[in-house]
């Protein structure tokens, strides 16, 4: 059985689309509502490293205390940015997905297709109607 974890915000359309794409591969992921159960510092650091992104790339600006906390300051260290995300989990961009094939910040949602071990089982369209996977389970747009 494939274990997949999604750090999910049910209020976010991108996160909902990503979750639906995982389920379209026949897997029921472990869903972590990270605003209620944020990752530990060690886990967050590990996911950032495994995803090969920087803390700044994971930082969410919209709808967060980003500006109030002065996080636009490019001189802030990675540790300071992670401190802010631990103190204010809303600053963690979503969704983060962990599979046996890697970790991705799935923005856009179809980025999850790159790390799903199992193929899509049928057609999939995002909530806005954009077709992402055709009836044969193949991606409709290049990666």
Which tokens go with 113? 């297709």
Residue among 6, 12, 47, 82 flagged as catalytic: 12
Residue 92: closest CA among 7, 5, 6? 7
Is 12 assigned a catalytic role?
yes
Residue 107: closest CA among 9, 34, 28? 9
Active site positions, annotated: 12
């Amino acid at each position: 059985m494939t274990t997949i974890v999604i750090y999910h915000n049910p209020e976010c359309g991108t996160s909902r689309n990503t979750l639906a794409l995982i389920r379209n591969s026949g897997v029921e992921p472990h869903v972590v509502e990270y605003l209620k159960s944020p990752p530990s510092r060690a886990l967050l650091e590990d996911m950032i490293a495994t995803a090969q992104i920087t803390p700044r790339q994971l930082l969410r600006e919209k709808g967060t205390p980003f500006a109030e906390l002065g996080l636009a300051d490019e001189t802030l260290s990675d540790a300071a940015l992670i401190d802010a995300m631990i103190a204010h989990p809303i600053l963690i961009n979503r969704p983060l997905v962990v599979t046996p094939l890697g970790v991705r910040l799935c923005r856009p949602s179809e980025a999850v297709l790159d790390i799903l071990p199992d193929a899509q089982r049928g057609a999939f369209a995002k909530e806005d109607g954009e077709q992402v996977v055709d009836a044969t389970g193949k991606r409709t747009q290049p990666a």
